[in-house]
Amino acid sequence: MSFTSRVLSCLDRVSAPRTAHAHCDLPCGVYDPAQARIEAESVKGCIQKFHGSDDPEFRQRAVFIKEERAELVKHHLWVLWTDYFKPEHLEKYPELHEIFWKATKAAGEVKKTEDVAVADRLLEHIGEIDRIFWETKKA
């Protein structure tokens, strides 16, 4: 087999369609708002580091990392909202939808600002979700 044929064969294997599985395909029950909280704390830390430096390259890197972490916050919140919380949770906690809406909006907003107050608001919303989450785990 020629070199070109081997490369094409490898590319065929790499680009072949594969089945992907989401987190919930294995009902492991491993959900925890702590993942979103840790990323949100990282967002706040990046904002604080941004304000504590006058190095433009460092500040640019802090903004980049903050935006990445804010996107991860949104991801972790949506996994909780779509995979963990069920209709019976919403019946018991009718405010849950609005809390998630506010939290994901705050995660998006924090991507556009270096305001620590926005990061604090995001952490407050995650704290509300955390409280409800653990109440549902007791039931």
Position 13 scores a pLDDT of 61
Lowest mean pLDDT among 8-12, 92-96, 135-139: 8-12
Residue-averaged pLDDT of the chain: 88
Alpha-helical runs (H) found in the chain: 3-15, 34-51, 56-79, 87-92, 96-110, 116-138
All domains of the chain, ordered by start, with CATH? 29-138 (1.20.120.400)
Position 53 scores a pLDDT of 98
- Residues sharing a CB contact under 8 Å with residue 132, sequence separation 6 or more, in sequence order: 89, 93, 96, 99
Position 20 scores a pLDDT of 47
Position 46 scores a pLDDT of 98
Question: Where is pLDDT greater, at 100 or 20?
Answer: 100
Return the amino acid letter for 42: S
How is residue 25 annotated by DSSP? G
Q: What whole-number distance in Å separates Cα of residue 93 and Cα of residue 128?
A: 11
Q: What whole-number distance in Å separates Cα of residue 119 and Cα of residue 111?
A: 10
Position 16 scores a pLDDT of 58
Contact 111, 67 (CB under 8 A): yes
How is residue 33 annotated by DSSP? T
pTM as predicted = 0.79
pLDDT one-digit tens code per residue, 109-134: 999 999 999 999 999 999 999 999 99
